[in-house]
A and B are shown apart, each in its own frame.
Chain A
C-alpha cells in the first residue's frame, strides 16, 4: 500500500494541463462532465491502491 503522491510528479506540467483543457475544447457542460467522470475512473484504476485512492478523495475534498 503506497501513500498518495502529493508532491510535484508530472513531467511537463504545462503540457499536461494544456492536454486536459484541449480534451474539453468544444464540449458542452454535459459532455465535459461525462469526460471528467470517465477520466476519474480511468485514473483510479491505474492507481488501484485503495489507500492511495482514499487519500486522493480526502485531498480533493474542499476545505471548510
Chain B
C-alpha cells in the first residue's frame, strides 16, 4: 500500500459552499483532476482567476496510463511551474528499435535538435505527472492563489444558462448546488458531462483493445523504445516495450477487438504472454494490468455556450504516437489565455470560437496521424497486410522504406494555419517553422532560453529591429523582448526566426504561438494584429 496512486491526495473535505444558504457562484469550475483539468486550473490560478476543481475520486491516476510526454507539453508545464520536476524524474530516450516477426528490421535515433531547454520526449507514469501537478496546486495555495481541488465531489446534473452553469454535486455527506460562470469539462473519454448534456462524440470510429502491463524487473534491456510487428509471442498483433522511472517497464500488447477482456486480464493468462516476450528466466513482478479500449473520434464542437470541453472528453485517439494527454495539455494552453481575457472583459466572448477552430484543427491532425498508424499496425485487408509486410521486409535492407514504417508518429505541436487570429505572413522567405500560427521553437539565449521569456503574455519579439518597449492596444498589454543575432552563438535564433531576413518583429501570443511577423516594426500593422489575435478585428 505504498504506491502513490493508492494514497488519497485530495481527500474529501466539507466546503463552506455546502452550507451556503444560496448556491455559490464561481468564475470557473473544472470537472476532472486529471492531467488536463489540473493544467487548466493551475493556468487560471497563476493569473489570479479563482478556480474550483471537482473530481469524483480523491487519488491520482490508477496505474501508469499515459507515459510518454513530448517537448511541447513539457514547455507548457514549465510555464505552469512544474516542467523541470517532470524532466528530472522522467526517463529520457532517443533510440528506438523495430522488430518484425523474430528479426530486428532497423533502429532509429530521434537525434533531438540542439538548443532546446526540454528534451524531445520523456517517459513518466501519469500518476507522477498528476502528483507533480497536485504539488503545484498546493504551492499556489500556499502562495494565496485562488485554487482548490474538491475530492469525491461528483457532478450529477448540469443546467446550462446563457451566462452561467448550474451544477448538482454529490459528496460522501450530501449533495449541493454550485454555479459557475464558465465550466471546463476535462472528465475523460467517457465524459459524464458530455453525456449529461446529450452531446455527440462521433467521427471515424476505430476499435481495438490493448493489454497494458506495468512490470517491475531488474532487466538489462536498454532505455529504448522497442516495437514489434507480428511477433511470435503476439501473433498478428503488435507489442511495445518502454522504460519508465523506478525500474517499471511498460508493455503494451495489442489484442484485437473481439476478445474476452476479463479472461485476458487474469494473471494466469497475462504472465505466460509476458514470459514468452521477456524470456522464461526473467524475474518480474506485475504492478498493474489493464485492458485499454479506444476509438478515434471527436466532438463536433468543443465549446457549447458556457461549457468548454478539453482533452479526451473532447477528442479521443489511438495510443500510437502519444497524442492523448500531450494534445490535451495543448488544449488548455490554447483555451486559458483566451478565457482569462474574456473574463477580464478585455476580449469578446467570440474569441473562444477560435479555441474550437484551432483545437479541432489539432484534434483532426492527431486523429489522422493515429488512424494511419493504426492502419499500418493492424492491416484491415489482405492486401494492406501484404503491403505492410513488404515495407517491413524492405526496411531491413533499404533506407528508403524506413520512413514508411509507421509504429506511431510521435506527438508534435499543431501549427494553427488558417486561424482567424493570424495575420498574414509578411516576413519574406522567413522560416516556415515560425510562420503565423506556429508554436515558437525554443532557442538558447545569453541568459537561459527563449521560451520562458515569452510565457503568459503578449510579446513583441524583435531581432535586430527597433520597436517600442511597451504598448497597449484595446486593453491588451504588449511587452517587447529585444534580441540580436550578435549574441546568437549557436545561430539557433537566426535559423529558427530569421532565415535569410536581416531582421524580424514577431507578435507572440500568451500560448507562445506566432500571431504575426514582418521584417520591421509598423505601428498600425501590429496594433491591428493584436486586435485580430484577441478576436477584436
On A, residues with C-beta under 8 Å from B are: 33-34, 37-38, 40-42, 45
Contact = CB atoms under 8 A, between A and B. Distances in A.
The 9 nearest A-B residue pairs measured at CB? A37-B390, A45-B400, A38-B390, A37-B386, A37-B387, A33-B386, A41-B390, A38-B394, A41-B394
Contacts of B386: 33-34, 37
Chain B residues touching A, range: 10 to 19
B389 A34 contact: yes
A41 B389 contact: no
Nearest to B393: A38
Say what secondary structure dominates the interface of chain A.
helix
B514 interface: no
A57 B383 CA distance: 15
B391 interface: yes
Given A33-B386, A42-B400, 18 more contacts: A34-B386, A34-B389, A34-B390, A34-B393, A37-B387, A37-B390, A38-B390, A38-B393, A40-B390, A41-B387, A41-B391, A41-B394, A41-B401, A41-B404, A42-B394, A42-B398, A45-B400, A45-B401
B383 to A, nearest CB: 8
Contacts of B398: 42
A37 B389 contact: yes
Contacts of B401: 41, 45
A45 B400 CA distance: 7
A14 B515 CA distance: 60
A40 B387 CA distance: 9
Contacts of A34: 386, 389-390, 393
A28 to B, nearest CB: 13
Contacts, number: 26
B389 to A, nearest CB: 7
A41 B400 CA distance: 9
Nearest to A42: B394
A34 B390 CA distance: 6
Nearest to B400: A45
Contacts of A40: 387, 390
A42 B393 CA distance: 12
A45 B401 CA distance: 8
20 contacts: A33-B383, A33-B386, A34-B389, A34-B390, A37-B386, A37-B387, A37-B390, A38-B393, A38-B394, A40-B390, A41-B387, A41-B390, A41-B391, A41-B394, A41-B401, A41-B404, A42-B398, A42-B400, A45-B400, A45-B401
Nearest to A46: B400
Contacts of B387: 37, 40-41
A38 B404 CA distance: 12
Interface in B48-78: none
Contacts of B389: 34, 37
B357 to A, nearest CB: 28
A36 to B, nearest CB: 8
Contacts of A33: 383, 386
Which of A34, A37, A40, A45 is packed against the most chain B CB atoms within 10 Å? A37
A31 B73 CA distance: 46
A34 B386 CA distance: 6
A45 B398 CA distance: 11
Contacts of A45: 400-401
B143 to A, nearest CB: 54
Contacts of A37: 386-387, 389-390
Contacts of B390: 34, 37-38, 40-41
A33 B387 CA distance: 9
Interface string B393-406: 11000101100100
B303 to A, nearest CB: 36
A38 B389 CA distance: 9
A43 to B, nearest CB: 11
Contacts of B394: 38, 41-42
Which of B387, B390, B391, B401 is packed against the most chain A CB atoms within 10 Å? B390
B45 to A, nearest CB: 48
B312 to A, nearest CB: 34
Contacts of A38: 390, 393-394
A53 to B, nearest CB: 13
A38 B397 CA distance: 12
Contacts of B400: 42, 45
Nearest to B403: A45
A27 to B, nearest CB: 13
Contacts of B391: 41
Nearest to B399: A45
Nearest to A33: B386
Nearest to A39: B390
Nearest to A45: B400
A47 B398 CA distance: 16
A49 B386 CA distance: 23
B329 to A, nearest CB: 33
A35 to B, nearest CB: 9
Contacts of A42: 394, 398, 400
